[in-house]
Structure 1
Amino acid sequence: MTITLKDFYADWCGPCKTQDPILEELHEDWGDRFEVEKVNVDEQQDVANEYQVRSLPTLIIENEEGVVERFVGVTQRDDIETALEKAGA
């Protein structure tokens, strides 16, 4: 099963810069259990619209069945890990 964490961000977004190290550390520790897909909302407006992203940062965790969890704002590692486990990572 493929688990994807979509990270919706923009270069001008301060809180997004706070979120980045949390995601990088998590991905290093979890390895191949999930994929990170970074979505720059300025360059990929269609994807942001498809997922109805209105605030940044937004994290969306998906598996083959669809969206498992959505976080808006800077999200702590524990909450992300709980959602990844729920998704099957």
Structure 2
Amino acid sequence: MTGRASESLLDALHGMLAGALTDELKRAMEAVDSDGVPVPINPQLLDKVMKFLAQNGVDAPKSAPRVDTLAAQLAEVNLDDVALGRPN
């Protein structure tokens, strides 16, 4: 059995996860129904994003700049509207 993955591999995986969450959040923020009305963002997605950010704090690897993009994308979400089911 091999040991722990290399730090560079873990950093790459971390960056990929941050990118996937960023992309998913961006799609959710741009989603509209058949009438063109914005669709509320799934609170579970927001929970995932917030947990990811909380777990990383300022310790996110510099090789994963998409973490900053993810944080900026989340900052655009009006959480009060999401909690009340109103479109962003």
Same fold (TM over 0.5): no
Larger radius of gyration: 2
